[in-house]
A and B are shown apart, each in its own frame.
Chain A
Amino acid sequence: MDILGSVALLLAFLAAVYAFVAGIVGIVTRRPLITKSARNAGMAVFGLVIIAAACLEYFFFANDFSSAYVAEHSNRALPAYYKFAALWSGQEGSLVLWTFLLSMYAFLVLFFNRKKHPELMPYVGVVLAGTQTFFLTLNNFVASPFRMLGNMDAGGVMRLASISDGHGLNPLLQYPEMVIHPPMLYLGYTGFTVPFAFALAALLGRYPGEKWIHITRRWTMIAWCFQSVGILLGAHWAYAVLGWGGYWAWDPVENASLLPWITGTAFLHSVMMQEKRGMMKIWNVWLVFVTFMLCIMGTLLTRSGVVSSVHAFAQSSIGGWFVGFLIIIFVVCCAAYWKNRDYLRSDNQLDSLVSRESSFLFNNLVLLAACFAVLWGTLFPVLSEWVQGSKISVGPPFFNKVNIPIALFLLLLTGVGPLLAWRKTSFDALRRNFAWPLVGGVVAGVVAFIFGFRDVYSLICMILGVFVTLTIASEFFRGARVISSRDGSNIFTAVGELTMRNTRRYGGYVVHFGMVLIFIGIAGTPFNKDIQKEMSIGDTLNIGSYSILCQNFDAVNNDNYESERATLEVFKGGKSVMMLYPERRFFLASQVTETMVAVQSNPFHDLYVVYAGRSPEGGKPVIHAYLLPLVKWIWFGGIVVVLGTILALLPNRKAVLVLRPATETSWGGAISATGSAIGAVARRADAND
């Protein structure tokens, strides 16, 4: 099976190289047959990588520990779903996952566009094949997942090692979210290859118009959505597993996932400038280039060990390859831009500073400022060490101080931008659109202050959150009222109709609302409370309005781990309201202990309880309880963001035929009905954002 997997990976590499070379030859010689064969080779890569990934999975499920990768990342007692996910728990396997997802995107792009855009697709195929070639080079020659362990027998013959059990999967990864978090994040990272390929192809081929933007809009949104889900799942995993009561530590690897998300967000906004007004063409092309380069740089940070990170499980000396690839991408992008820069000239100019265009400019500026601040803080320790010779730390306080004001300004723009008109917005329109949301925001601020919000950033966040929510609601309401008065439908039906007529616009508003919810969730952080106490059976711990009574400690063991579990009864106002069971699990294969946090969540706060273990001093069990306000809003906001993105991906409801029913059976009625039918109104979808 290792030979089959290795051969499949090697053939995939050769197919990718062929797709790359033949693609270039096809473009230069203008011979369609060569171009077609290059495309078919590009699609074949996916099939071959599927075979390789299936072989690796087979090793995991067959408990074949003669495979070095399986011996290192699995063991017999590991549950089946974690065996499946163990494929991407280490360097070699996670690179296979990357190649698999990249090949899947490449296959879908090449297959669905096989009869479209004949001038553009050969270039797209070459860029995709070039990227695949790089990752397959790593899979085959740098970090092969099919390295086998061997023993020399008595006769001096090398045989496959016979190992009874493996080292097991890193316990931190033995959590349901870890089964889906990496694939989601990788679907984001690899997904940004598609807009990159189209942008570079359009530039190289001087493809006229904004076609590449139209083609890649959905691909970009899909990649962005996966990236968002991946980031949030990672945050939730950190919250639920690490037992520290937080969800974001500004770890370099977390930051690496955030960087392309930020530039991707900027692109999704600025792209509208090009679609509507033919502006910011250079900017958009470079935003896509930078987003892709940040994806590669994120992978470099995760795997190279160039910066200190808790994500140490995937580090190696592979960084040099990624640096080389980054340099190649940068040189190619610069050369393509320099050669064809006249192709990117703007069609229109800015008419007014108070306009949708300028709001997009500011939006992009602020997003890029946030991106730079995160990147700068992440890489500054390396820079400082290089210049001064001594390493410094750039921890969470730095990132919070720098990024919170930027994020709040961005939240403000989320409310302001969509209400400004294209080209120019009059003062009257400004007053009409913003008066009530502003009043609502101020009232919310006063109420929040009265209820104890004494942190200035949290208070601003609440004010802006309500302001943005009201601007979004007013947008829905104004549009729905027009439809309602025309059709006589009720306002809720009209909201649905309005949304489906312009899914992109109103889906975007839903995404904005999801972001507001996330911001509000974050605004609760300064009001966190926690208490840590040594507890014996019968002892009580008080936090907020809760009393936690320790009822029991017991053991819950299985083949994979031995667990010590606390049984806690939670009282509120003297009444028993819930039972909580925080655990500590000792994983037998890896000999590592991890916490399993017990969380009781409601919209107001999370009661988050950790069984921290035996006190190093007294040997008594220690319970650490946290009361964390508004955390649930973050996860709920994430769901709303995903739903909004899905909504924005749906096609617009285009034309609706309205037939007035005949009310009379007389000739007059028949004539009237015929007239109605002839004069039926096909209502066009409102295509204007």
Chain B
Amino acid sequence: MLVSAPLVASLTAPVTFAQNAPRAKKLANGLKCMCGGCEDSAGQCSHPGGSFSGPCETARGMQKDLDDRVAKNESDDAILAAYVTQYGPTVLVEPPKKGFDLLAWIMPVLLPILALVLVWYVVRNWRKKAQLAPAGGPHIDAEFLARAQREAKGDLE
């Protein structure tokens, strides 16, 4: 079966830590390490510059907590909601797909579509004009044009 998730998920951060459940690992990758000293996710924290180049204390704590919650059969939504309650929405590595934050997801799709419509409109206009008459250029002083052409010729030689 073909899946697209791996490239999306691991393009930048292939680090993993030995958590018990794959579901806990997936959840850890979706939560930010809240140590304040790195910008990694809890599941992929390598904490550059730290005393240990692996998950820092905060990340390890979050990983263990996720293992425990998964073992207690808490749902993904409940676990994430608990973390958002504790740290705020900044704990999620990507914007929530609701409310104002939904804009983060919509705009990168909507704007190219609008741009595509605009390009189509412009191209259609161009084609119409091309069938009607050749376009003219702005008025340029003849003496100035001749001078510029002489310069251009000089540069090419």
Contacts and interface: CB of A to CB of B under 8 A. Distances in A.
A, B bound: yes
Interface of A: 116-119, 171-172, 206-209, 211, 241-251, 308-310, 342-343, 345-351, 353, 358, 361-362, 365-366, 368-369, 372-373, 376-377, 380, 384, 387-388, 390-398, 400-402, 404, 406, 454-459, 522-523, 525-528, 530, 532, 584, 592-595, 610-616, 622, 624, 626, 628
B86 interface: no
A402 B30 CA distance: 16
Contact of B96 (A251, A392, A613): A392
A376 B111 CA distance: 11
Contact of B32 (A241, A353, A395, A594): A395
Nearest to B30: A397
B148 A384 contact: no
A613 B13 contact: no
A528 B14 contact: yes
Given A347-B137, A392-B96, A392-B101, A249 B39 contact: yes
A392 B92 contact: yes
Contacts of B49: 171-172, 592-594
A616 B14 contact: no
Contacts, number: 241
Nearest to A388: B100
B53 A525 contact: no
Given A346-B135, A393-B32, A244 B11 contact: no
Given A244-B48, A401-B8, A622-B54, A384 B13 contact: no
Interface in B87-126: 88-96, 99-101, 103-105, 107-108, 111-112, 115-116, 119, 123, 126
B145 interface: yes
A364 to B, nearest CB: 9
A262 to B, nearest CB: 13
B14 A246 contact: yes
B11 A396 contact: yes
B12 A396 contact: yes
Nearest to B125: A349
Interface centre among A365, A400, A592 (most CB of B within 10 A): A400
- Cβ-closest 7 pairs across A and B: A349-B130, A526-B6, A395-B93, A528-B14, A369-B112, A373-B108, A244-B46
A394 B39 CA distance: 11
B4 A457 contact: yes
A393 B135 contact: no
A595 B53 contact: yes
A615 B147 CA distance: 76
A397 B90 contact: no
B39 A310 contact: yes
A376 B106 CA distance: 11
Nearest to A373: B108
B95 A384 contact: yes
Interface residues of B, number: 76
B2 A390 contact: no
A358 B123 contact: yes
B78 interface: no
B112 to A, nearest CB: 4
B39 A530 contact: no
Contacts of B111: 369, 372
A245 B14 contact: yes
Interface string B20-61: 000000000010100000111100101011111110010010
B126 A454 contact: no
B126 A350 contact: yes
Given A211-B152, A246-B12, A350-B130, A532 B104 contact: no
A613 B47 CA distance: 12
B155 interface: yes
Contacts of A454: 1-3
B51 A613 contact: yes
Nearest to B115: A365
A171 B49 CA distance: 9
A492 B101 CA distance: 56
A400 B9 contact: yes
Given A246-B12, A361-B119, A613 B53 contact: yes
A369 B96 CA distance: 22
A606 to B, nearest CB: 11
B151 A117 contact: yes
B54 A394 contact: no
Contacts of A373: 108
A529 to B, nearest CB: 8
Contacts of B6: 455, 458, 525-527
A232 to B, nearest CB: 15
A525 B108 contact: no
Contacts of B53: 243, 584, 595, 610-613, 624
B92 A456 contact: no
Contact of A244 (B15, B90, B104, B145): B15
Contacts of B126: 346, 349-350
B151 to A, nearest CB: 6
B124 to A, nearest CB: 9
Nearest to A245: B14
A249 B12 contact: yes
B98 to A, nearest CB: 12
A384 B46 CA distance: 28
B14 A368 contact: no
